Structure 1
Amino acid sequence: MTHYLVTGGSGFIGAALVRRLLNDGHRVRVLDDNSRGHMGRLAGIADSVEFIGGDIRDADTVRTAVRGTDAVLHLAAVNGTRHFYEKPEVVLDVGVRGMLNVLDACRAGGVGTLVLASSSEAYQTPPVVPTPEDVPLVVPDVLNPRYSYGGSKLISELLAVNWGRTGFDRVAIFRPHNVYGPDMGWEHVVPEFVRRAVAAMALSPPRGPVAFPIQGDGTQTRAFVHIDDAVDGIVTVIDKGEHLGVYHVGNPEEVSVGDLARRVVACFGREAEVIAGPPAPGGTGRRCPDIGRLERLGYRPRVPLAEGLPGVVDWYAQRIAGDAPLRAAE
């Protein structure tokens, strides 16, 4: 049994990871301020988790949370594309100050194992697709607030690797690629498309195509990984990742944004008429991970988009129909 601290443990990925660690017989402590996460994600396991409410930017809180643990899994961050544009200073503050606090606390507490959640946003527009882990990390335009998140992850990787050269037994990094699943928050593409589909169908005749506006022309591609597969990949990094190793966690099943829109609408038994619009400033045309490095450690994604998407669409559609609060801050 290992005693883990999971920062950001009431977030979407963090909470799923906490459940997996408990199921595997480990002891888990969570640090989160619930500014984007919420305790509902820990329903049914809250009594088995030691929860510390606090801000990753507060050094004393982080030191208290790290003390007495065997390993730190650092996932705390401000994700969600809308946040990158609207509050980039907070995105950077949480990302960079939080990383420094975690590193200081690990050294002060004698914690030798650190696993950092980075992001595919750290390399922005990749020069090779499918993309391996050794491509350059890039901030294309410091004036574009979108890159606040990718920049914070780039800096965090630099800090983790270079601090990790001494004073740590093992530091490993994983870069998740478009993780999706129920209760992931509303400011991501899949739940946003569900919300858009529901609104579009309400304004459309009961039969025939549903007008569905998107950003860009729909040819942009992404590769989505179901939360269950993502957690499998993260646990593989935790268990088998090399010291100073960097690993993509994802599913190399590439899909265009236009096709994703059509698939979401098809989950309602309708057909989408995709309508192109202006692209998001700083967006990336194509992104898909090469997961060969993690596959060599035994990882295999098991949930194709065709199987995983309908359940997630249904989860969000039910909450829209039930007038559940649309917690944009999640």
Structure 2
Amino acid sequence: MAQAAAVQRPLPDRNEFESIRLVTIGSRFSESIDATIAWCRRYGLLAQTMVCPVCNLLCQEGVYNRVIDGRVFRCPNRDCRKVSSIRKGSFFEAAHIPLWKVIAITYMWSTNCGRPRGPSQEFLMRELDIGSEHTIVDWNQFCRDVAVEYFVNHPQQIGGPGSIVEIDESAFAKRKYNRGRMVPEKWVFGAYEAARKRGVMVMVDRRDAVTLMPVINQWIAPGSIIWSDMWAAYNQIPNQGFQHGTVNHTHHFVDPNTGVTTNHAEAMWSRAKAKFKSMMGPTNRDMIGGYLAEFMWNQRFGDSPFFHFWTQIANDLYVVN
């Protein structure tokens, strides 16, 4: 019986992914499941082979009309004959919808996650013939989880020797004008490097030095020049080995003598809150961390989001044979 053999894993091709448009996804992928499976395998998104988890033998692929893809892997051992989905181990494994619909949802999420308002759930349900809004909500969350996992696995610092990083903190989920129901205040620390247009946003429990200094050291590279307002907690920044400039917002948005400002960091808040306002209702404020990761992910990969989305899945999160 055949033993498991190593298969060279293909990588996503940037030009191919950038050529895809929503208007062509349906015609390109929905008409042939075989072509869609072949496309996914070409770019490392579905396994080309499967090893039986019981016998450790190389499975055989065959037609099986009772499953959504019409194909399965089956163990050749007559005493086993275990059947495995061709989606096993892939990003598609939890999906109960056709592959092409997952591709369409991920395309819409990745290309719209940086905009204040993307396509409505009703639009996606209608265009993709999906009967439940929960399916759209769940898959948008799966996409958001990719962004969260990226920053967990790749906590890259911003700034560096001689680079200016503006920092600020802002309250999310607070009552306006002390009206409305009581909502626990959520504070977010933000840092923005204007030169590379890269930002960091991290939820914090408090705004004191004990809380903020470890976050600053984690996300801002040594040798950076940090600009901030005159919040007392930031007085400890020079003790951490950073150069530190301040602006007194009581008098100026930009210090007339030093040029120190936090305008870029505050502009990041404006963009983020415009996005969150369209997404967050009163029941999902505990998802702020995921929304922050989504916003940061778009800042980092908005030049070619669909390509980067699937590259991260193929290379890091769902590595298949």
TM-score by length of 2: 0.29
For the pair shown, the structure with the greater C-alpha radius of gyration is: 2
TM-score by length of 1: 0.28
Work out which structure has the larger RCO, using CA pairs closer than 8 Å and 6 or more positions apart in sequence: 2
